[in-house]
Chain A
Amino acid sequence: MALKELNPLLHSQLRLAVVSLLAGVQEADFSYLKDETNSTAGNLSVQLQKLKDAGYIEIEKAFKNNYPQTTCKITRKGSDAFAEYIENLKEYLSPKKEKKV
């Protein structure tokens, strides 16, 4: 049986890092994601928008202390996609144990 294709939206270094971080917290702001993933603001913005368009994350923009603040949160759809990605990843890492359908 062929291995299932890994979700291309998550199978990218930065997007996977962002979703993995958001899966473990309630919400995180843009600067936290930027620091923890060692990414540039420009690249992170583009990747966050892609995740938002797919419905995997919610982005809320507000003003705090007169500075714009962007807060991100994983959605149910994002959590499900992340769980499915990990399930498929297991098959790649131990292909002998893959389930027969």
Chain B
Amino acid sequence: MIDPAESLDIIQDMIFKAQKNYSIDSFYYIMWGWLTFSAAMLSYFLMPVLHEKTGMVWLLMPLGGIISFVYGSKQAKYQKVKTHIESHVNQVWLTLGIALICVVIAIFMQINFKILPTFILLYGIGIFCTGRIIKFMPMIIGGALCFPLFLISSYFSATDFSFQYLILAFAVLVSYIIPGHILKTKFRH
């Protein structure tokens, strides 16, 4: 049997060990940084030759996605502990990854970025990420709905501008208002 002072020592020792054990991998920042830097510089120098086809250079980017996936899968095999900080950072980048894919889809749909749809995308980023971190399903669903709503709103921005207001209202309803009221009910006590 241990005495209370020993208990305190064990708790302090273990909490210290748990805290020092996180590491944020620099690989992704370096790889994506250099890939984007190279694509931007390549675009600059090839523009006089390729003209409007310069955008083709950005087809290099999916390569980063493949490298990230392969590297991430390998790293996961050796990861023995996952801290809260690592988990939260992962949620931030998962959300940003989804938002970036939405932007790429919008570019392929040849949608010009307008103010209202951009706000919907930003709501989605904030709410989806918060929902994932606090593990609150209404926020995850509401935030996730903002991503397709961003694309729908962007699509209608060219043809029927006023329709965007309805979509914006709906986006706020599902991402802020409904999850907010559910959250209020949950923490009433």
Question: B115 CB to closest chain A CB, in angstroms?
Answer: 38
The B contact surface, by secondary structure, is helix
Contact among B1, B6, B15, B86 for A26, CB-based, below 8 A: B86
16 A/B residue pairs, CB under 8 Å, sorted by A: A13-B2, A16-B10, A17-B10, A20-B10, A21-B14, A21-B18, A23-B18, A24-B15, A26-B84, A28-B82, A29-B80, A32-B81, A89-B4, A89-B7, A89-B8, A93-B4
Interface flag for A6 (CB, 8 Å): yes
Q: Please tell me if the beta carbons of B2 and A25 are within 8 angstroms of each other in the complex.
A: no
Interface residues of chain A, those whose CB is within 8 Å of chain B, are 6, 11-13, 16-17, 20-21, 23-29, 31-32, 36-37, 64-65, 86, 89, 92-93
**Bound complex: CA A1 to CA B14 (Å):** 31
In the complex, number of A-B residue pairs with CB atoms less than 8 Å apart: 69
B7–A36 touching, CB < 8 Å? no
Binding site for A on B (CB under 8 A): 1-2, 4-8, 10-11, 13-15, 17-19, 21, 76-77, 80-84, 86-87
| New A-B pairs, 13, CB < 8 Å, besides A23-B15, A36-B17 | A6-B4, A13-B6, A13-B10, A23-B18, A25-B83, A26-B84, A26-B86, A29-B80, A31-B80, A37-B14, A64-B77, A65-B77, A86-B11
- Report the Cα distance A21→B4, complex, angstroms: 18
Q: How far is the CA of A26 from the CA of B80 in the complex (A)?
A: 11
Whole-angstrom distance between the Cβ of B80 and the nearest chain A Cβ: 4
Residue of B18, B19, B77 most packed against chain A (CB within 10 A): B18
Closest to A65 in B: B77
Contact in complex: A20, B15 (CB < 8 Å): yes
Question: Which A residues are in CB contact (< 8 Å) with B11?
Answer: 16, 20, 86
